[in-house]
C-alpha cells in the first residue's frame, strides 16, 4: 500500500505515520526527517537545506526530488510506503507521478489531516521529538509515558529548532501558498480522503484505519 499523509505543519502527519508503520509494516518516508539527518551529518545538502528550514521556507524542489528518487528505490519500499511531508509543491507531485509510473506503481490514498491554523501554534510550540526515531509527542495533548523519553525507542526528547512561534507563521504561509494546491491535484485523481485532524490522536488513528481497511 502506497499512502501519502497530507496536511499543514503540525497537523499530525508524523504522529499518525508511526501507527501506520506498526499496522502495515511499511516504512515512513519523511523528507523533513531525511533533511534533519543530513544536517546532523553535516553534508553539503544538509547545510544548504538548513538555511531554508530555519526560516520556515521550503527547500528547493530539485533537492527534494533527488532525495525521493534515491529513497523510493530502496529495498524496504517494495511492499509500499508512507509519504510524510512530500510532495509539497505541484512540481514535486508531478515528479513523483512520473517516478512512480516508471516504477509501475501508484499512490493508493492521500489522507488529508484537516486542522485549522489557530490550533497549529499550540501543537507546534508544545511538541517534543525523538532525534533517534523521529517520533512526535506533545507536553499536553500527547505526552510520552515517561517525561522527555521516547515511548518507541527510549531516546531523549528534544525541541525541534524550527518549532518557534515565529517560524510557524512562515511555515503556515509556505503551506497555504505552495502546498495547499495539492489538495485539488489529488482530489482530481480520485484518491484524496479527508480526516478531521482536530480529534484526539487515537480517534484520528481509528478514522484513518477505517479508511485504509
Is 189 annotated as catalytic?
A: no
Helices (H), 42-157: 44-54, 61-72, 90-102, 117-125
Here the cell at position 156 is 531523549
Residues 161-180 that bind ligand AP5 (CB under 6 A): 171
Shortest distance, position 207 Cβ to Mg ion, whole Å: 19
User: Which 3 state secondary structure label does DSSP give 9?
Assistant: coil
Instruction: Please identify which of the residues 50, 88, 123, 205 carries the catalytic annotation.
Output: 88
Measuring CA to CA, how many Å separate 184 from each of 10, 12, 81, 176, 197? 21, 20, 22, 13, 19
Instruction: Please identify which of the residues 18, 127, 128, 205 carries the catalytic annotation.
Output: 127
User: Among the candidate windows 4-12, 93-101, 150-158, 184-192, which touches ligand AP5 by CB under 6 A?
Assistant: 4-12
Q: Does 134 bind ligand AP5 (CB under 6 A)?
A: no
Indicate which of Mg ion, ligand AP5, none lies near residue 86 (CB less than 5 to 8 Å, by partner kind).
Answer: ligand AP5
The upper half-sphere exposure of residue 5, i.e. CA atoms within 13 Å in the direction of its Cβ, equals 31
CA angle 31, 26, 99 (to 5 degrees): 55
CA–CA separation, 35 and 93 (whole Å): 18
Q: Does 138 bind ligand AP5 (CB under 6 A)?
A: yes
Could you tell me if 23 and 209 are in contact, meaning their C-beta atoms sit under 8 angstroms apart?
yes
Residues 50-109 that bind ligand AP5 (CB under 6 A): 52-53, 56-59, 64, 85-88, 92
Binding site for ligand AP5 (CB under 6 A): 7, 9-15, 30-32, 35, 52-53, 56-59, 64, 85-88, 92, 123-124, 126-127, 136-138, 141-142, 171, 197, 200-201, 204
What residues are labeled active site? Answer: 13, 88, 127, 160, 171
Amino acid at each position: 500500500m502506497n499512502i501519502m499523509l497530507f496536511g499543514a505543519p503540525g497537523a499530525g502527519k508524523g504522529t499518525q505515520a508511526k501507527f501506520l508503520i506498526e499496522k502495515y509494516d511499511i516504512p515512513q518516508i519523511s523528507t523533513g526527517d531525511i533533511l534533519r539527518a543530513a544536517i546532523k551529518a553535516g553534508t553539503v545538502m544538509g547545510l544548504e537545506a538548513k538555511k531554508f528550514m530555519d526560516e520556515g521556507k521550503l527547500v528547493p524542489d530539485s533537492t527534494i526530488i533527488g532525495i525521493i528518487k534515491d529513497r523510493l528505490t530502496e529495498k524496504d519500499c517494495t511492499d509500499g510506503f508512507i509519504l510524510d511531508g512530500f510532495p509539497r509543491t505541484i512540481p514535486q507531485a508531478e515528479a513523483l507521478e512520473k517516478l512512480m509510473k516508471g516504477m509501475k506503481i501508484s499512490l493508493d490514498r492521500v489522507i488529508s489531516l484537516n486542522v485549522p491554523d489557530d490550533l497549529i501554534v499550540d501543537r507546534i510550540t508544545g511538541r517534543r521529538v525523538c532525534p533517534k526515531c523521529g517520533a512526535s509527542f506533545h507536553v499536553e495533548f500527547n505526552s510520552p509515558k515517561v517525561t522527555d523519553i521516547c515511548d518507541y525507542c527510549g531516546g531523549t526528547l528534544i525541541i525541534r529548532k524550527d518549532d518557534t512561534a515565529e517560524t510557524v507563521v512562515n511555515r503556515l504561509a509556505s503551506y497555504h501558498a505552495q502546498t495547499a494546491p495539492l489538495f485539488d491535484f489529488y482530489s482530481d485523481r480520485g484518491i484524496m480522503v479527508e480526516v478531521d485532524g482536530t480529534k484526539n490522536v487515537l480517534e484520528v488513528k481509528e478514522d484513518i484505519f477505517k479508511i485504509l481497511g
